[in-house]
Amino acid sequence: MIYLFIDSSGFGGIESHILQFALLVKQQNRNVEVLFVDHYPGHPLYQRLCANKIKYRFLSDIASSSFFSLLLPSDVVHAHGYKASLISRFYRLRYSFRAISSFHAGEKSSGKLASYEYLNRVTSFLSYNFAVSSRIKRTVPFRCHLLNNFIMQLPVFKMRSKHQVLQVAFVGRLSHEKGIDRYIELSDMLTSCQFHVFGDGDEQSRLINKKNIQWYGAVDAMDEYWSLIDVLVISSRAEGLPMAALEAMAHGVPVIATNVGDLSKLVASDWIVEESDWKNLSILIGKLNAYDNIEWRALSKDSHTRIVDSFSGESRWEQIEKAYQL
């Protein structure tokens, strides 16, 4: 059995990654179950797992020691995030199972979170490790393998036109690391475009009274919204390889981004700027705004093709199967 282990109270990049991972393992006819540290009522991932007939349970409902003691040497506990990783490594010292950890955090942390992330890294010698970007991989002091994010449920490409008024989107946590302040400044610079924000977080108060920004709050899934958007802007100060970027391009939405994490592996060099030169994102948005429908459709098709060719789940399975030793 493969257990995808996570501590999660909302839906974001890691949760989307977990869903894609579970779908990939299931497609390979392997037994998979998502194990949550705690139960948070109304969590959107529960519904999405049910819809895809993927089992899940909560460690808080059972005695942790009892659960881990019953695992076989062939069982895999693949932890995502510091809390799940630390728990699984602790029990791996006592019981026989395959312990794997994925590192997702690309931003600098502070306070207690920084302490937990430090402990997560210095104990990583107790597990087989993956990182979702080269930059994150370099922060792990023990052996760690790069495993880029991927998409399983690839939508069929649908040719569509660019909107008459360019529709620009930000998708993600409203935080300093994600650069929501930069995105808001871009909206002030480009009043001829319509800006959208999907997400919530500590800096959402910045959006109050911003007439050129339509704020949706956190949404359970972006599938129904991608057709409303012409371009996704990633103005981050730190990243791994964001699932939002993969999902956007899979739906034919071009991405313009700062050069952080492994985004340069995904986004063509014409549409990426150095992180310190983030204001040049306005130039790229203006360039795209000047595109006619033929040019925009070609870019949209190229975005979709990049995901199909290099970021599908099938292209990752050989590496994952080796780690699981199935």
- pLDDT tens digits along 151-185: 887 888 889 999 999 999 999 989 999 999 999 99
Residue 202: band (very low, low, confident or very high) from pLDDT cuts 50, 70, 90:
confident
Q: Do residues 136 and 207 both lie within one domain?
A: no
Per the structure, the complete domain to which residue 57 belongs is given by: 2-150+313-324
Structure tokens given for 211: 């007439």
On whether the pTM is more than 0.75, the answer is yes
So what's the pLDDT on residue 205? 87
Q: Do residues 207 and 135 both lie within one domain?
A: no
Provide CB contacts within 8 A for 158, sequence distance 6+. 252
State how many domains the chain has: 2
Mean pLDDT for the stretch of residues 104-111: 72
**Averaged pLDDT of the chain:** 91
Q: Do residues 139 and 264 both lie within one domain?
A: no
Mean pLDDT for the stretch of residues 68-91: 95
Structure tokens given for 214: 């339509």
User: Residue 10: pLDDT above 80?
Assistant: no
User: Residue 109: pLDDT above 80?
Assistant: no
User: Residue 209: pLDDT above 90?
Assistant: no
Tell whether 62 is covered by a domain: yes
Q: Do residues 12 and 140 both lie within one domain?
A: yes
Provide CB contacts within 8 A for 304, sequence distance 6+. 157, 249, 250, 251, 252
User: Residue 326: pLDDT above 70?
Assistant: no
Tell whether 159 is covered by a domain: no
Q: C-alpha angle with apex 80: 201 to 134, nearest 5 degrees?
A: 85
- pLDDT tens digits along 222-258: 989 999 999 999 999 988 888 899 999 999 999 999 9
Instruction: Determine the Cα–Cα distance for residues 280 and 105; give it in Å rounded to an integer.
Output: 26
- pLDDT tens digits along 31-55: 999 999 999 888 888 988 999 999 9
Q: Do residues 64 and 111 both lie within one domain?
A: yes
User: Residue 148: pLDDT above 90?
Assistant: no
Tell whether 318 is covered by a domain: yes
Q: Do residues 11 and 115 both lie within one domain?
A: yes
Structure tokens given for 75: 């069982």
Tell whether 40 is covered by a domain: yes
Q: Do residues 92 and 12 both lie within one domain?
A: yes
CATH number of the domain where residue 13 is located: 3.40.50.2000
So what's the pLDDT on residue 164? 95
So what's the pLDDT on residue 106? 66
Q: Do residues 183 and 67 both lie within one domain?
A: no
Residue 220: band (very low, low, confident or very high) from pLDDT cuts 50, 70, 90:
confident
Q: Do residues 108 and 189 both lie within one domain?
A: no
Tell whether 156 is covered by a domain: no
Beta bridge partners of 34: 4, 56
Please give the backbone phi and psi of residue 194, each rounded to the nearest 5 degrees, phi first. Answer: -105, 130
Q: Do residues 184 and 277 both lie within one domain?
A: yes
Tell whether 162 is covered by a domain: no
Instruction: Determine the Cα–Cα distance for residues 16 and 13; give it in Å rounded to an integer.
Output: 5
So what's the pLDDT on residue 107? 65
Mean pLDDT for the stretch of residues 275-304: 96
Instruction: Determine the Cα–Cα distance for residues 114 and 108; give it in Å rounded to an integer.
Output: 8
Tell whether 97 is covered by a domain: yes
Tell whether 77 is covered by a domain: yes
Return contacts of 223-227, CB within 8 angstroms, 24+ apart.
Answer: 223/155, 223/251, 225/169, 225/196, 225/198, 226/251, 226/252, 226/253, 227/160, 227/251
Q: Do residues 301 and 189 both lie within one domain?
A: yes
Q: Do residues 139 and 180 both lie within one domain?
A: no
State the alpha helices, DSSP H only, in 159-292. 180-189, 243-250, 263-266, 281-289
So what's the pLDDT on residue 251? 95
Instruction: Determine the Cα–Cα distance for residues 271 and 287; give it in Å rounded to an integer.
Output: 10
User: What angle, 0 to 180 degrees and rounded to 10, lies between the N-to-C axes of helices 243-250 and 293-310?
Assistant: 120
